[in-house]
Homo-oligomer: A and B are copies of this chain.
C-alpha cells in the first residue's frame, strides 16, 4: 500500500464553504482536492492500493484529518468539485478521536500531523531531498505540503525523516504525487 499525506495549512475544517470558491473561502482546498485525485485515479480505474490523508489546519475546528481510501471510496469523480464535495461532507459530521466514515471510503477524525507521524514511517517530499528516482528502495508513505512551505514546527517534527525530491524543478503537490506514482509503477513493473 502507498500512503500520501498532504498538509493543508489554511484549509477549512468545517463544512461551511462553497465548492465555487475552494481556492479562496475554503483555504486552498482546491490543492487538497487535486492531491486526492492524482493519488487515486488511473484511466478508467482507481488505485485501490493508495490511501490519502488531508491534514486540515486552517479552520476554526483545526486540526482535523480526512482519510480517503482508494480501496473503499465511492462517488469520487476526477474533477476538483467531486473531491471537494466528499471532503465537505466529512467535515459536516461530528469528528471524534477515531476515524468515522462520512461517505463510502471517506473518514474524518480530530488530530493533525503529530498523530499521523506516529502511524506510518513517512518520507518527506521536499525540493531539498534526494532524487527519488535514485532511491534504492522506495518508501511506502509520503508527506507533502500544499502551496506553502512546511512551518518551523512541522520541520522540527519531521527532522529525522528521509527527504526526497522528484526532479530538478519544484512542482505543485499534486504533480509531485503523479511523478512519485509513476516511479512506483515503473519499479513494480521492473522498468526504470
Contacts and interface: CB of A to CB of B under 8 A. Distances in A.
A42 B185 contact: no
B182 A23 contact: no
9 contacts: A23-B77, A30-B79, A43-B169, A43-B172, A133-B191, A167-B182, A168-B186, A178-B179, A179-B182
Interface string A19-49: 1101100000011001000100111110000
Interface residues of A, number: 39
Contacts of A169: 42-43, 185
A101 interface: no
B178 A191 contact: no
B23 A171 contact: no
Contact of A179 (B81, B127, B179): B179
Interface of A: 19-20, 22-23, 30-31, 34, 38, 41-45, 77-82, 127, 131, 133, 147, 166-172, 175, 178-179, 182, 185-186, 188-189, 191
A28 to B, nearest CB: 9
A82 B34 CA distance: 14
